[in-house]
Structure 1
Amino acid sequence: MVAALRRLPNPRLTGLGGGLFAATAMFLLGCLDQLLFDGSPLVFGLLFLPVSALTALWVRDADLVTAPIGVPIAFAAGVVPIAGGTGGIGGQTMAVVTALAVQAGWLYGGTLVAGLISSVRKVRLMGRRQPAPVRVARRRTAP
């Protein structure tokens, strides 16, 4: 299984690239959801979770903090096609705000996924960057 995971693409996106990836993916998935499932919030929310995880996994180490910031923005971009507002700009804006409020659980869940993955990656990165004397001292004291 590890060999199969290593064969998957491993892009390293900048903070801006990660945000653009997530926003574009969520907008396209929102359009697809509207087309196939008539704007189902469940389908949209379930599709948001893997996009959040991929964004946090694919952003480069220097930009880890941007993943949990860009993911909620991407969620808002993806809600626009499924919000279903009528009556011009005001009606569409109110539909998007209402959809964001109603689907806040999915929004928090995806942001939590991105935040956890980014945090774990950052902790692992900090562990690898310890100075050599600290690593040697830890090896000597380890049982």
Structure 2
Amino acid sequence: MALMLLAGWLDHALFGASPTVYGVLFLPVCLLTALWVRRAEPLSAPTVVPIAFAVGLLPVADGGDGFGSRLMGVITALATEVGWLYCGTFVAGLVVLIRRIGAAGRSGGRGHSGGRL
């Protein structure tokens, strides 16, 4: 979430809060999140990346100075940039699934117990 917030601030400072730049920055963060997640918690990556996307939208979303207008800007950005959100979540889920299949293949399909009952 911190990385997406940083990406949002950088996008705001360097590109004038471009939703496309923010979306492009979101995809590698999703990939890295899926690669960094512990093997014991594979579902945390596809769960956390949409939350990180929303948090990072705070500096990117259009809105005024008040809390209500900023919140409406974030909600509007979530609605209009949902394609990036879906793609990033799909990338994270796919990488986690591939890692899970690879781990099952290395263990010989014996599961977590190592073949012992």
What TM-score does the superposition give when structure 2 sets the normalisation length?
A: 0.90
Shift of residue 90 of structure 1? 1.0
- Root-mean-square deviation over aligned CA pairs: 0.9
Unaligned runs of 5+ in 2: 111-117
Runs of 4+ in 1 over 4 A off after TM superposition: none
Q: Distance in 1 between matches of 2:104 and 2:51?
A: 28
Q: Could you say which residue in structure 1 is the equivalent of 2:98?
A: 120
Unaligned runs of 5+ in 1: 1-22, 132-143
Q: Does 1:88 align with 2:66?
A: yes
Larger-gyration structure (1/2): 1
Shift of residue 94 of structure 1? 0.5
Query: What is the aligned residue count?
Result: 109
Match of 2:2 among 24, 35, 39: 24
Q: Could you say which residue in structure 2 is the equivalent of 1:7?
A: none
Deviations 1:74-106 (A, max 9, x none): 000100101121151111111000000000000
Q: Could you say which residue in structure 2 is the equivalent of 1:12?
A: none
- Percent identity reads 52
What TM-score does the superposition give when structure 1 sets the normalisation length?
A: 0.74
Q: Distance in 1 between matches of 2:32 and 2:60?
A: 22
Q: Does 1:107 align with 2:88?
A: no
Match of 1:37 among 8, 12, 15: 15
